[in-house]
Structure formats: C-alpha cells, structure tokens
Structure 1
Amino acid sequence: MIRQHREQQAIAKTIVNLQDKFNKNFDYPYVFLNEEPFTEEFKVAMRNAAPESSMKFGLVPESQWSYPTWVDQEKAAQSRKSMDDSGVLFGGLESYHHMCRYQSGFFFDHPLLEEYEWYWRVEPGVQFFCDITYDPFLYMEKYNKKYGFVVTLLELRDTIPTLWKTVEEYAKSRRIDISENSKLLFPYFRDKNSGDFNLCHFWSNFEIASLNLWRTPQYRDFFNYLDQTGNFFYERWGDAPVHSLAAGLFLNTDEVHYFEDIGYQHDLYRHCPSKESGLSCRCECPNGTNEKSIDHDKNYDTCLPVWLKHVKDDEKKKANWNVWS
C-alpha cells in the first residue's frame, strides 16, 4: 500500500511527527504492510525516524491482492477505463481498487496483527498538531468505544453508485433494523428527505478502532456479501464508506467516538480543535485554521454538523426509550 520510493520520505516525516506528539510517551509498535516486499532502504529509514520504537514489516498475501474468481477481469478493465475517462477519482488505478478491497476485508487478519486488539491507521504525509497526553486505546476500552474518527465528510457519489442499495438489501436479508427508530448508528447515513445515502462517512485514513470489530462473523458476512458483487472492481467502492456503513449496521452511536481533541491533516483536509471547545491548549495549528478546517461550516463537504445533530437526536431517542421501558 506504500509506494516506497515516492512515499518513503512522507511516512518517515509523519512518524517523526507522531512520535513527538504522542508515541514518545507510550512506545506503541509500528506495523507496516505492503503488497510488495519492503526494501532494506525503506526499513532503515523508518527505524531512523523512530529509533526507540519496535517495528514490523509484513507482506500482503497475493491471494488478498488479486482478483477473486468471480470477477470478470476484462469487465473490470473496461470499468476502470470508463471511470478514468469520466474523471472518477482514482477510478482508473488498478492498485487502488485492490487497496480498497484489502483494507475493507483483510488487513485485520494479517499474522502481524494477531496479537493486537486495537489499531491506529496512519497514512504517509499526514500531520498531527496537538500533544496527545492520554492513551486513546485505553480511552476507547474504558468507555466501550469501538470506532474512532477525526474527519467525517461527503463521499464522491460516482465512486459508489450502487453501494447504498446493496447495503440496504443486505440489512433486509439479515433482518437488521435500519429504520429511523433503530438503536443503531445507521440513521446517521440516511438523507432524511430522500431516504438515500447522504454520502456522509468517516474518513478512514485516520481510524482508531477495535480490530475485533472487523473480525466478527457479522462483519465478515457483510464484507463477503459486498465482495460477491464485484463492485470493488466494477465501481470504486472505498474502504471508508464500507467501514462507515458497517459501523452503522453493527454499532450503536455511543460506540463511535469523535476525537475532537486530535489535530490532524491529510492532503487539503485539516481538523484542529476550536478555541471555543477548550481542547486547543496543546495544539500548534497553522494560521487560518478556522477558515481552512474541514469542520468550518463554509466547507460544503463537511458532515460534522450532521454528526453533532445525529448525536443529539440519538440522546433524545434514548431518553424516550427510558421513559417507555
């Protein structure tokens, strides 16, 4: 998943940053996975970035980074060309399709992750702005959280034209209540007016989550259902909406945590705690953060206002359930 020559410097810089803001005090190990063997040069560069930290380097099994037998590879190639011609972001990149499928259905089973219950996904080139003085994993465990995010925004509709319909069909076939009255997270993802996918999802390039969430029979069944459609290749289903909608099907809202206090940037999207929140005292956010932040209400693709409203509505529903229970 890491383009070693192109992204080596970017991931090394990110590790130095994460060590400074968090891991120098907690000394968690780093696990690197790739579909090609890591070079010695890459390994040395990573170890130099965090000399005191344990590091493991693993190879993704070829069987998990290739086409399943039911996928028509010629159709997949034609679909990639069509997406590329139509300007679908990353739609023409074969490796990107494999990456999305791998992150959706397999990474949590890699032998190097067997001993772990939690993970923090870190991408090359991301930046952290705030000192993280507590252990997010212990926080998640203590408060019964299963999935944590920093950024929630709109997905590109042309990457997932049939995903919502497929998920609805899955829920119906498994008798999962996804109505507005459901106790699950799922209503967060539904447009209240049209009933369609509102395109909100959690950006998976930052995830702090339970590996056991994805290891459950329920999630494996869900992924296999999606995988059988072939639409990781015929469309460009991303692991972000797949993880998000799965969380919607299998988690309650209060099992999902918004890490508002973690300042973070990936590409053009930035989150920093607002001064009003009282969480920004240990942050070194760039000038103009309020205007450039993905959370700013002028950003058309932020879903944070939708999330905050959903949390309030969920609390009201719980209050009503307690009255009638």
Structure 2
Amino acid sequence: MAARIASISGAEHTAMLGLGVYRPERIVTNEEVAGPIDSSDEWIRTRSGIRTRRFASPAETIISMSAAAARDAIDAAEIDPGTIDCVIVATSTWLLLTPAAAPQIATELGLKNVAAFDVSAGCAGFCHAVALASDLVKGGTARNALVIGVERLTDTINPKDRGTAFLFADGAGAVVIGPSDEPGIGPTVWGSDGTQHHAIRQDKDWMEFFREIDEHGLDAVRPYLAMEGTAVFRWAAHSLEQVCLDAIERAGLTPDDLDAMVPHQANGRIIEIMARVLKLPESCALANDIEETGNTSAASVPLAMEAMMRKGDAKPGGTALLIAFGAGLSYAAQVVQLPNWK
C-alpha cells in the first residue's frame, strides 16, 4: 500500500488587507511628449484622456519603487512582515530574462527565505497575481502573500512612436493578501486570446536584435513596445463586458451592488464604454486615474484604487470590480473589498 501524502488547507476566505503605491516624482505634461510625435495636448487628451503622467528617474528602479509601495502596503495591513510567505511581482519591464525581480525585492524588504517570483501577463498581471495569491492563502501554502504591480514602461517605448509615446508611464502598487473572516476577494474570471498576440507586443525578439547587431553594429535598432491601438480598442469594447458580468455574477452580486469599478487605465474612452455597457448605478465610483497617471500596465489597477480612496470617491471596505486586460491578449477580473491604504 502506497504511503499516504499529507495535505494542508488554509483560510476559508481571503481579502486585500493593505494597499501601498509609489508614484515617480517627475510629472510629465502632454506638451513635453507631443513634440517628438508631432502631436498636441488636445490630440492626446481627446484620444486617451491623459493630461499628465509620471516618468521614473534612473534612481527610481523596479526594485526601489516596488519596495516603497510594498512597505506602505504592509504598514496599512498591520501585519507582522514575518508572516509573509510569498512575493508575486507582476511586470513586463524587468529587462532581465533571469533572475526574476521578486527575490531581490523580497530581500530589499527584509523578507527571508520566502517564495518569490514574477508574473508576465501584461496589463492584466496584477489581477492575475491577486488570483494566485488568494488561492495560495486559501490552500495553506502561504499565510500572507505580497502582490506587486510595477512598471518602468519608459524603458521600453520609442519616444517618437505616435502610438505609444504619449500613453505609457511608470509606477508601482502593492497589496497584502491574507485570511479574512468574510469573503474579500471573489472568484476570478480570466483568460486569453492568443490570436490577438500582435496587438500589444515587443516589436522584435532579442535573437533578431542580436543578429542585427552582428550585421549592422551600432546602427541596429533596439526592441521597443509596439501597439495596434485600434485592434486593442475593438477587442476590449467587444469582449470585456461579458468578462465583467461573469465576475460580478460569480461573486453572487449584481452591478447595482458595486460601490466602485477599477478598470485597467488603458484609455479614457475604453473606461467610459465599459461603464456605460455595464449600466453601473450613479452611486458607483469609476476610477479614472489615467488622466493624471497615464497607462502604467500592471501597476495601473492598484494605483487607480489608491487614487479613488485618496480623493474620497471610494472607501476601504467598499465593494469594487477590478478588471484588466493587455498583452497576450490576456484578461482577468474579480470583485473585491477595497483594502486599507497608506
């Protein structure tokens, strides 16, 4: 008879216990980015809703921004950092193939011998990581888990690319996920559509770049982030309504039960369309952090949560729908109780 392998179980329910963010110091106006793309403030605002964004300095790194956001999240959660057993970092702009950023961030935070890994799911990475962390705590693999969404997209964009230069920006957001007496994180609805992989992508792989260096030397052009804005817009407008409705239904709620909606800050027009098709009640606050922060990919959902609560549009404990989508194309949504923040 085979030996019996022991099993473990964790918390019945989970919640976001604390939220922290880091916004780079430098504020960049539309006028500053408009010149190289032969554009204007009006053109940028009309097409994206963006007025300003934050660009990181050389000193504001993936590691330092993540650690700053994480420290505030841990403080807001009011937990012993020693009870964090896992660090999950969602990012597309850690430009080393190996090692991952997460172990270095954990060490920077003084967390010893914890599991730490990165998640690459584009702009949907934070919501993917929330799902993973919640399941880890429910399964007993972690007592508490730290989730970080962080990007330095200015490292990856061509300042002369009319489709991306005005849109993307930098920042970090973090949440602590742990046990809760009541359900604080609903079931996640997630998926992908690989037929749309071309819509948001790195425009060449590294092997192609290395071959160009061999052939052309310093004239070789480095890889940049590329986006087919129309394809993304159409995909989001067509596909995301059902994802949102499914997440709300799986949480046992209706749109009328929502206090807030926090969509990925991809484009102001997409945000408006999503709110309209879901027929959200007037009492439901709608995150619109893109106006001041731009599109920060995996960092955008936690940054938008913080902005809503800082401005008084939503409060900790409120019921919010999180929805994000991006490169892959990948998407994820879940209903949560908004966390304490610092």
Q: Is this a same-fold pair by TM over 0.5?
A: no
TM (norm. structure 2) is: 0.31
With CA pairs under 8 Å and 6+ residues apart, which has the higher RCO, 1 or 2? 2
The answer to which structure has the higher helix fraction is 1
TM (norm. structure 1) is: 0.32
